[in-house]
Amino acid sequence: MRAADRGAGASPAPWCGAFPCVPTRLATIRPPRRLGAAIALALAWVGLAGADDAAPAGAATWKAGVARAVITPTTPVWLAGYGSKRVPDGALHDLWMKVLALEDPAGRRAVLVTSDFQGVPRSMSDPVFERVAAAYGLGRAQLMITFSHNHCGPRLGDDLIDYYPVDPEQETLVREYTARMIERMVETIGRALDDLAPAVLATGRGRATFAVNRRNNPEGDVPALRAAGKPLAGPVDHDVPVLHVTRPDGTARAILFGYACHPTTLSFMTWNGDYPGFAQLEIEERHPGTTAMFVNTCGGDQNPLPRRTVELCMQYGHELAAGVEEALAGELRPIAPALATAYRSIELPYLAVVTRAELLAITSDPQAARGEAIKSRWATRLLTRLAAGETFPAAADYPLHAWRLGDTLVLGMGAETVVDYALRFKREFGAETWVCGYADDMLAYIPSRRVWEEGGYEGGARLYEYGRPALRWAGDVEDRIAKAVHELVAEVREP
Ligand SMILES: [Zn+2]
């Protein structure tokens, strides 16, 4: 219901607690109306910190670095997202990976990767984490690899492997493309670190309303409901959090923004970034020199509706870009230059690991094979693994991040988190909290307790679509995630 939307309403940052993560001088300054004022205030704070705390003059500032690389495939890799055997016929625009590196005056670093990938599997992100640690000394807590979940992006590694017909030639192409993307991501992160230079960070929040809770509103009903001005059902998160990064002289550097919605406006055979791609293009056109970066917040159960035309996709991109402009024109809060990062991998247990007998029942049922090719391929693949002597684990590893930038909390959560997580953590830690989904590993839908109890696509027995050795999560995954998130937030809160 709309009440859930209100759950993300204005409130102080309770997560901040007694830890002085907002300099009291800054907290008493009236928030600026415009960015120019935000920069001036942040610089004023830098000057005050230098005077009072005896920090070296000019040292107490953020450093930021930005880099980007095209990821549009140049070989006939299939399009991801809908599981068809499809080689795209061209591109509406290029696909990108983009990197924002941050460093505080103590030399603490954090690096965020955003991308137009549909899903980055662990088999891709793990090698990047290893190589980035070796090459640049960044630990796991310092790097978050996100993907927009763009359904008009390319296949990658073993992401959603059973969605696609088995085709050795295609698998070779996907393997080669993924290897190139690992190289490119490591190299792009290196360029962002090389670009580190003094910067000013400010944050704000706009709004866009095209995301619809797809569990509670039949797609065909939405246009008539919207036209009649009737309310749509189910929780949504229409916030557009924005992080503006500039050089101290005001030069544009990066605009990071988020939204909770599946990039599934389009379902056709042309590469493009769906609504986040169009939003980034528009923002970069309006702000020459900036790199626009998108994170999908908790859009696992949200769709852009109505959909399926390029016009609607461009319109949603424009609405999101307008939400970013609303934030930039509003009360941007300067972010004090202090960084803390924490990471944990927790175990999310399955309700029950699938057995050989259950898998055999699926593969021997011609009806099931015809009706559910994904499930049939999944069962066949898992039977092969069992025959090779493998034992399936009873739980999956689930990645969680907490970053503190000044008094701004940024959470990172693996895979397809439903909107309840964003609404809950913004209630618990403050409305300005960023709750980023689709980080590090596209391992499955992550239902809340509510969605798990309701069942259905995001909460029920569909884990096979992601290749998991089980059909359902255990019912307590939200409890486990929330406990770990609170512990991580406490870690970054401590001095
Ligand atoms: Zn999805």
Residues 423-438 pLDDT 10s: 999 999 999 999 999 9
Crossing angle of the two packed helices 356-363 and 373-387, in degrees rounded to 10: 140
How close is the Cα of 463 to the center of ligand 1, in Å? 12
CB contact set of 71 (below 8 Å; sequence gap of 6+): 94, 95, 96, 97, 115, 116, 117, 154, 181, 184
On whether the CB atoms of residues 375 and 362 are closer than 8 A, the answer is yes
* R_g of the chain computed on alpha carbons: 22
CA 33-318-335 angle, 5° bins? 35
Stretches where the chain sits below pLDDT 50 are: 1-13, 17-59
On whether the CB atoms of residues 282 and 316 are closer than 8 A, the answer is no
Strand 252-259 relative to strand 291-296: parallel, antiparallel, unpaired?
Answer: parallel
How close is the Cα of 296 to the center of ligand 1, in Å? 11
Strand 416-417 relative to strand 445-446: parallel, antiparallel, unpaired?
Answer: parallel
User: SS3 letters for 123-180?
Assistant: HHHHHHHHHHHHHHCCCHHHEEEECCCCCCCECCCCCCHHHCCCCHHHHHHHHHHHHH
On whether the CB atoms of residues 377 and 368 are closer than 8 A, the answer is no
Mean pLDDT (the chain) is 89
Picking from 263, 271, 267, 276, the residue whose alpha carbon sits closest to that of residue 304 is: 263
Picking from 91, 100, 61, the residue whose alpha carbon sits closest to that of residue 291 is: 100
Give the model's pLDDT for residue 200. 97
Picking from 34, 31, 35, the residue whose alpha carbon sits closest to that of residue 251 is: 35
User: SS3 letters for the chain?
Assistant: CHHHHHCCCCCCCHHHCCCCCCCHHHHHCCCCCCHHHHHHHHHHHHHHHHHHCCCCCCCCCEEEEEEEEECCCCCCCCECCCCCCCCCCCECCCCEEEEEEEECCCCCEEEEEEECCCCCCHHHHHHHHHHHHHHHCCCHHHEEEECCCCCCCECCCCCCHHHCCCCHHHHHHHHHHHHHHHHHHHHHHHHHHHCCEEEEEEEEEEECCCEEECCCCCHHHHHHHHHCCCCCCCCCCCEEEEEEEECCCCCEEEEEEEECCCCCCCCCCCECCHHHHHHHHHHHHHCCCCEEEEEECCCCCEEECCCCCHHHHHHHHHHHHHHHHHHHHCCCEECCCCEEEEEEEEEEEECCECCHHHHHHHHCCHHHHHHCHHHHHHHHHHHHHHHCCCCCCCEEEEEEEEEEECCEEEEEECCEECHHHHHHHHHHHCCCCEEECCECCCCCEECCHHHHHHCHHHHCCCHHHHCCCECCECCCHHHHHHHHHHHHHHHHHCC
How close is the Cα of 401 to the center of ligand 1, in Å? 21
How far, in Å, CA of 121 to CA of 389, rounded?
A: 24
How close is the Cα of 303 to the center of ligand 1, in Å? 9
pTM assigned to the model: 0.89
How close is the Cα of 149 to the center of ligand 1, in Å? 7
How close is the Cα of 146 to the center of ligand 1, in Å? 14
How close is the Cα of 202 to the center of ligand 1, in Å? 30
How close is the Cα of 458 to the center of ligand 1, in Å? 9
Q: Which two tokens stand for residue 156?
A: 């990658």
How close is the Cα of 416 to the center of ligand 1, in Å? 6
How close is the Cα of 254 to the center of ligand 1, in Å? 27
* pLDDT tens for each residue of 444-492: 999 999 999 999 999 999 999 999 999 999 999 999 999 999 999 999 9
Give the model's pLDDT for residue 17. 43
How far, in Å, CA of 439 to CA of 121, rounded?
A: 10
How close is the Cα of 402 to the center of ligand 1, in Å? 23
Strand 211-213 relative to strand 339-349: parallel, antiparallel, unpaired?
Answer: unpaired
How close is the Cα of 234 to the center of ligand 1, in Å? 17
Give the model's pLDDT for residue 85. 66
How close is the Cα of 151 to the center of ligand 1, in Å? 8
How close is the Cα of 467 to the center of ligand 1, in Å? 14
